[in-house]
Amino acid sequence: MAVGQFLKEKGYSRHALTLLKQTEGGILCNGSEVYLNQLLREGDRVDLFLKEEVPEEIEPVELPFGIVYEDEDLLVVDKPADMPVHPSMRNHDNTLANAAAWYGREKGDRFVYRCVNRLDRDTTGLLILAKHILSASGLYRQMREREIHRTYLAIVKGLIRKAGTIDLPVGRKEDSAIERMIDPDHGERAVTHYRPICYGNDWTLIECRLETGRTHQIRVHMSSFGHPLVGDFLYGDREEQMPRQALHSWKLSFVHPITGEFLEFVSPLPSDMQKYMKERAKNEVSDDT
């Protein structure tokens, strides 16, 4: 097998391989620089070195966010509510990208910002940031092949007694850049597995496991099922006691794109969701959180 084929099977993208070819000493086999068509033999050692230029367009801003895990290849962070993931026209300096740029600069570890799994502005919890193109390639491949497993916790309106699956296509709502809808004709397949964890007075805490990752998938699915998320003004109703959609990226598991190690992380339910439930507690189904 040639070096290039070996690296492709490891998940490295065409773009990553091009950058490696352009980097002096980027691909070494047993300590010597080689081309991608070099044939490998059993016992050969392949080392990769890549230096990326970090763009300056993201302004470093000191903003609070949690670091759950970090190594030289990636970060797993715990995003707070009211923080967009990427800068936009109306959000220049209040995003996770700004916070990560500040964090990297302060550590002397500046890296290209690549967010692998995305969350809405007011959804809290776990996200993966790839620090370079090599780790990003492997993580993006895992996302495409549904090998990054994401489990969410959500508080929904009404009582849900049994576990189930919602398999309904989700598409963009006409004349809206943000809102999504169930769209059997033009939507993409979306599958959400859910189960109740505990419930109170007209609310249920559910666990949602995503088989697909469409924009607003959980929010649209639960609303279509008659159980919109508490505080979700876009697909339900505003609520003073919960000024955001009660949705939290709780558990995240994947294979490390460089080392091959299996990683799993859990983020505790945020205080605002805990407070909402405690003030309206009635009964419990289980205690897994």
Residues in the chain: 289
120, 183, 185, 237: the active-site residue: 120
82 is annotated as an active-site residue: no
Active site residues: 120
